[in-house]
A and B are shown apart, each in its own frame.
Chain A
Amino acid sequence: MLGRIAAIAGNAFREAVRDRVLYNLVLFVLLLTGAAIFIGELSGGQERKIIVDFGLSAMLLFGVFIAIFVGVGLVYKEIERRTIYAIFSKPVGRGEFVIGKYLGLCLTLFVNLLLMGAGVSLALMYVSRGWEPLALSIWPAILLIYFELLILTSVALLFSSFSSPALSALLTFFVFIIGHFSSDLKSLATSLGGTAARFFFRAIYYVLPNLANYSFITSAAHGQRPTAANLLAAVLYALIYVIVILAATTLVFSRRNFK
């Protein structure tokens, strides 16, 4: 089973590379160079903070776009091209297919973030004219960004398993936005008078991913790192969330009739 999942994941990664997804790195490098050289000058001596804010925000933004737009097409493209029949004519389970596709995109995002993170670290060392502690201390924040993207990718995959790519992309983008407003949902739930409304908003708060757990860019720009306990809890939360979403995706996908 693991071999089949690995084969599908490898194919999904190769497909992303063939689709020139990693070309966004070129744009990222250009943005970062521009930020390091030009925006830094306008910041009143705050080049390092600007590079970290700019670099990590771009990593998140680019990652979100990849997770959404590539994620929603993972399954849909196979159905559209009818290659899914060829895949399922072989001894491949639908769950294996979903997990394989998901892991393939995770690998793409991993390579993407790794290279972008290295770019940010190098840019920091460039403006510092040597070793810069921030170049190392930003990596826990990058790890959190990665796990946020893993959650978002799973959500995109879930929507794409029963909806069109455009609608899936829109819904995933909404989840990304609402995920950052989770604390508001919680406070809304506590401030509402009616029990039903309170229950409803509390349920939404727990069902939707709390992406605020992964917002550490601003603190990282000041050289701060999340505590080991917080980092571990956020990673664990993401893993559990992803498992639940992938299970739901497999459930929906296994009920689809491709005849």
Chain B
Amino acid sequence: MIIAGENMLTTAPDQSRRTFALLLVMIVGTIGIVFMARWLDSRRTKPDPTFEQEKLYVTGQTVRRLSLSFNGLVADWYWMRALQYVGNKVLNTPEDVQFGDLSQLDLRLLAPLLDTATTLDPQFMEPMEYAAIVLPEVDMQEAIRITKKGIAANPSAWRLYHLLGYIYWRQREFQAAGEVYGQGATLPGAPRWMEAMKARMATEGGSRNLAREIYTRMYEEPGDSKVKEMARRRLMQLDSLDERDEIRRVLSLFQSKANRCPSSWREIESVMRSLRLTLDSTGAPLDPSGAPYVLIKANCDVDLGAKSEVGFK
């Protein structure tokens, strides 16, 4: 049979052979491409870390102009890049770094990335929230600037006032924090606790109770899941600090009576039960993450266990 087409003399078996040969070339070629790509990847030298840290030369305003109508999409890209940047830093750090304690990482690009994302899309709340919660550990002034920029773009968003108040509170500028909470409290839709927070900043700025209140609000408010997780961990830390204070009191009392440190948790088990602490089968008190506290007999003290997820000592 003769096939009509580019070559009138091509017969059906010829055509099949040619198709088969072409398919074979395509398959073998694809395998070759994969193989070569892997071989090249394995021999590629690691990029200079300084390149990765190279600052962003194009400002947010310029990117906004260049992005035409696509500024929202470009803002998403910068936001995802910020998340990837922090994520890669955490993964490439030997120690297990917890969210909310990123000061040990060199995150110098985080502020410009979040700044660009929020300049491109001034109503994009998540980067602003991230800037308010994470950035203070890296660059406090940039965190304040980005959050203030967010407030200027969204003057009716009480949540941004809450975040700015939180930054000031972390900086121990309780008066400024109180003022910001006061401003936020006057906005329509602001919860009543914003007004209460203003008063508490003035009277008990550095207290643990106020810290618990702030993190509880952050945890309860609908928002970014990472912020909620950070608030949950902070609340665990606060609970753990309270528990350790209680345990230290018990240890001190035991030491003053017996003139020695307890040899094991068993010796003070009943007292700790009366304090409503959760104990394991050995009588050791459990921290909020469920890991047993460690008794340090040398100086009759208590500490977090190695498996604790509370995070900070």
Contacts and interface: CB of A to CB of B under 8 A. Distances in A.
Interface of A: 39, 42-46, 49-50, 52-54, 57, 60-61, 148, 176-177, 180-181, 184, 211, 214-215, 217-219, 221-222, 224
Contacts of B126: 44-46
Contacts of A184: 65
Contacts of A217: 69-70, 72-73
A218 B84 contact: no
Interface string B220-257: 00001110000000000000000000000000000000
A71 B76 CA distance: 31
Q: Lowest 9 A-B CB distances belong to which pairs?
A: A218-B72, A53-B72, A215-B69, A180-B68, A53-B73, A57-B73, A57-B70, A222-B123, A42-B80
Contacts of B75: 53, 218
A45 B124 CA distance: 13
* Main DSSP-derived SS at the A contact region: helix
B69 A50 contact: no
A45 B79 contact: no
A44 B72 contact: no
Contacts of B68: 176-177, 180, 215
- Bin the interface of chain B by size: 20 to 34
16 contacts: A39-B80, A43-B76, A44-B226, A45-B126, A60-B69, A148-B69, A176-B68, A177-B68, A215-B68, A215-B69, A215-B71, A217-B72, A218-B71, A222-B123, A222-B124, A224-B123
B76 A46 contact: yes
B121 interface: yes
A50 B124 CA distance: 11
A202 B68 CA distance: 20
B123 A44 contact: no
A63 to B, nearest CB: 11
Contacts of B83: 42-44
Given A44-B224, A45-B126, A222-B123, A211 B69 contact: yes
Contacts of A181: 65
A57 B224 contact: no
A222 B154 CA distance: 13
B296 to A, nearest CB: 39
A39 B130 CA distance: 19
Interface string B65-98: 1001111110110011001100000000000000
Contact of A54 (B73, B121, B130): B73
Among A57, A61, A180, A218, which residue has the most Cβ atoms of chain B within 10 A? Answer: A218
Interface in B197-233: 224-226
Given A177-B68, A180-B68, A222-B123, A45 B76 contact: no
A253 B68 CA distance: 32
A216 B120 CA distance: 13
B224 A53 contact: no
Given A44-B224, A45-B126, A54-B73, A218 B121 contact: yes
B76 A180 contact: no
Nearest to A51: B76
